[in-house]
Structure 1
Amino acid sequence: MKRRLYRGKDFKRAQNIADLREIARKRLPNFCFEYVDGGAEDEITLRRNRSVFEDMAFRPRTLVDVARRDQTVELFGRAMAAPFMIGPTGFSGLLARDGDLALARAAAAAGVPYVLSNASTMRLEEVVERAGGRVWMQLYLYRTREYAARLVERAEKTGVEALVVTTDSAIFGNREWDRRNYAKPLRLDVRNSLDVLRHPRWMADVLLPRGMPRFANLGDLLPPGQDSVRGAALAIAKELDPSLSWADIRWLRSLWPRRLIVKGVLSVQDAVLAADHGVDGIVLTNHGGRQLDGAISAMEILPEVAATVGHRLTVLVDGGFRRGADIVKAIALGAHAVLLGRATNYGLAAGGYPGVVHAIDILKTEIDRVLGLLGCPSVTQIDSHCIDWSRTNAAVMPAAAEALLRPNAA
Structure 2
Amino acid sequence: MTKRRSASSEKSTAGPPADKVAVAIVGAGPSGMTMAIALARHGFSVALVAPALPAHDDRTTALLDSSVEMLRALGLWADVEPHTAPLRHMRLIDATGRLLRAPEVVFDASELKLDAFGHNIRNSELNSALAAACGQEASLLRIEDRLAHVETGTDGATLVLESGRQVEARLVIGADGRMSAVRTAAGIAAKSWRYPQSALVLNLEHEVSHHNHSNEFHTPTGPFTLVPLTGRRSSLVCVEQPDEAERLFAMDDETLSLELERRAASILGRMRIAGKRQVYPLGGMTAETVAANRCALVGEAAHAFPPIGAQGLNLGLRDVAALAELLVAARSKGEDIGSDAVLARYERARRPDIASRTTAVDLLNRSLMSDLLPVQALRSVGLYAASRVPPLRRLLMREGIAPMMARPRLMRGLSLS
**Which bracket does the TM-score occupy, shorter chain normalised?**
under 0.3
Q: Which has the higher contact order (CA 8 A, sep 6+)?
A: 1
TM-score computed with the length of structure 1 as normaliser? 0.23
TM-score computed with the length of structure 2 as normaliser? 0.22
Q: Which has the larger helix fraction? A: 1
Q: Which has the larger strand fraction? A: 2
